A = this chain, B = another copy of it.
Amino acid sequence: MKRIAVLTGGGDAPGLNAVIRAVVKTAIQDCSCEVLGIRDGVDGFLKPDGILPMDTAQVRGILPRGGTILGTANRGNPFAHRLVQGGEEVIIDQSDAVIRRIQDLKLDALVIAGGDGTLNIAQRFYRKGVPVVGIPKTIDNDIGGTDFSFGFDSAVNCAMEAIDRLHTTAESHHRVMVLELMGRHAGFIALHAGVSGGADVILIPEIPFRMEAVVQQIRMRQEKGSPFSILAVSEGATLQGSRPVYASLGDEINAPRLGGIGEMVNTALNNQYGIESRLIVLGHLQRGGSPTAFDRWLGTNFGSSAVHLAAAGRFGHMVSLHGSQIEAVSLEQALAVTKRVDPHSNAVRTARAMGIYFGDEVPA
């Protein structure tokens, strides 16, 4: 292996810089490789200044920093690139142009760190002959084939600290606080942050809720002498029998937005049920900041192992975490899994044992 490239795609996740640093250092030190950084995701292959030769000097000091020094293009699907031509949006397939560039660059391997969407693109390139190795990246923890990915732990800690902050005010002021968290399809952030922060109600996509049941839990708490409640609400939490609220907000993959389910719950509490509540939408705060130790550790190990995978010629695979070991799993296999919170899992059972309510049944 003489030349390897690395790119990051999709939304921000703490730990991306650890990945980049590990790829660069491992490629140079263990494989005596040349390393190229691709700017702003796959798009970089088609930009004049999109290719950046990298050495260790460029990755110095980036380990504790959020974001990605390579940048990322959120909507960069080269197989269906949106372009405005003559006033109209057209969708064109740029994948062959990308592949030609990869061939011109004489890349022996391409490391792609990204979420579901980006890894699907990686898989399609692999099928067309590009020597791809994947690195799963998701703050939502919704990628299969790995116990966890980097970004999730930082996001959960950020969300938990927000709950910690809201707790004292909620108690002092007898308030209900609605905290909307990330998670369109998987409720792991709300579940983990809710349990570790001590939320009173957790609403997640996997367990559709009824508004009346939520209200009853809040009132029951009031009657028992706790005139405050904290609700941790996934962006994708859904009323029983309804479609997800975020679906009407456009396909922005990158953040919960005002006007989402949190606002709906908050408005209903205040206007419909006469319960004074406040809404906080944590949004992008969950994606930023210095990564936790776990995310730096995992990002570093993922990046380093991805280079070793590439050196061993195991393309079409992504690195993954099993227990405390880094392993490899085929992209095909990993992408076939839809990872969601299991409503019957021990984790949900534990949450219920803590007195946390999911809005699916009327409290006893």
Chain A residues with a Cβ under 8 A of chain B: 11-12, 16, 18, 21-22, 25-26, 29-30, 56, 63-69, 71-72, 74, 147-148, 153, 156-162, 164-169, 171-174, 177, 192-193, 195-198, 254-255, 257-258, 263, 278-285, 287-290, 292-294, 296-297, 300-301, 304-305, 307, 322-326, 346-347, 349-350, 353-355
Contact = CB atoms under 8 A, between A and B. Distances in A.
Contacts of A283: 278-280
Contacts of A22: 350, 353-354
A265 to B, nearest CB: 12
Contacts of A25: 353-355
Contact of A30 (B74, B304, B322, B353): B353
Contact of A63 (B192, B196, B258, B284): B196
Contacts of A290: 164
Contact of A304 (B69, B169, B322, B353): B353
Given A300-B196, A301-B347, A353-B30, A293 B153 contact: yes
The dominant DSSP class at the A interface is helix
A292 to B, nearest CB: 6
Looking at A18, A63, A64, A165, the one whose CB has the most chain B CB atoms below 10 A away is A165
Nearest to A155: B293
Looking at A196, A287, A290, A296, the one whose CB has the most chain B CB atoms below 10 A away is A196
B29 A353 contact: yes
Contact of A196 (B26, B29, B297): B297
Contacts of A66: 165, 167-169
B67 A172 contact: yes
B65 A162 contact: no
Given A324-B148, A325-B346, A12 B168 contact: yes
A205 to B, nearest CB: 18
Contacts of A293: 153, 156-157, 159-160, 192-193, 196-197
5 contacts: A71-B171, A153-B293, A153-B294, A167-B288, A280-B283
Nearest to A69: B172
Given A283-B278, A293-B153, A353-B25, A305 B196 contact: no
A23 B64 CA distance: 26
A16 B173 CA distance: 13
Nearest to A304: B350
A137 to B, nearest CB: 12
Nearest first, the 6 A-B pairs at minimum CB distance are A67-B168, A165-B288, A66-B168, A196-B296, A67-B172, A165-B289
B173 A72 contact: yes
A161 to B, nearest CB: 8
Nearest to A165: B288
B296 A160 contact: yes
A47 to B, nearest CB: 13
A252 B16 CA distance: 40
A29 B164 contact: no
Contacts of A258: 258, 263, 279, 281
Given A71-B174, A192-B297, A278-B284, 20 more contacts: A16-B172, A64-B197, A68-B172, A147-B324, A148-B324, A156-B293, A156-B297, A162-B285, A164-B288, A165-B289, A166-B285, A168-B289, A257-B278, A258-B263, A280-B283, A280-B285, A292-B292, A301-B350, A304-B353, A324-B347
